[in-house]
Amino acid sequence: MRSPLSDYLDTVAPGGACPDHLVVPRSLAQSMPVRWQQVFVGLLADLHDAYPDVVWPEYDVSAVRAEPLTELDDDQLARHGYVTELGPDGELEYRDADDRVVPGSLPVRVAAPDTVPPASAGQVPRGTVVLS
What would the pLDDT profile of 57-111 be if each residue is shown by its tens digit? Answer: 999 999 998 999 999 999 999 999 999 999 999 999 999 999 999 999 999 999 9
What was the pLDDT predicted at 128?
66
Flag whether 132 is in a domain: no
Flag whether 34 is in a domain: yes
Considering the entire predicted model, what is its pTM? 0.70
What letter represents residue 124's amino acid?
V
Flag whether 131 is in a domain: no
Which has the closest alpha carbon to 26: 61, 73, 68? 61
- Look at the chain and report how many structural domains it folds into: 2
Cβ distance 29 to 38 under 8 Å? no
Does residue 8 share a domain with residue 55? yes
Does residue 55 share a domain with residue 16? yes
11: confidence class by pLDDT, cuts 50, 70, 90: confident
Does residue 94 share a domain with residue 53? no
Q: What is the extent of the structural domain holding 55? A: 4-60+113-121
Does residue 76 share a domain with residue 33? no
Q: What is the pLDDT of residues 16-62, one digit of tens each?
A: 888 888 899 999 999 999 999 999 999 999 999 999 999 999 999 99
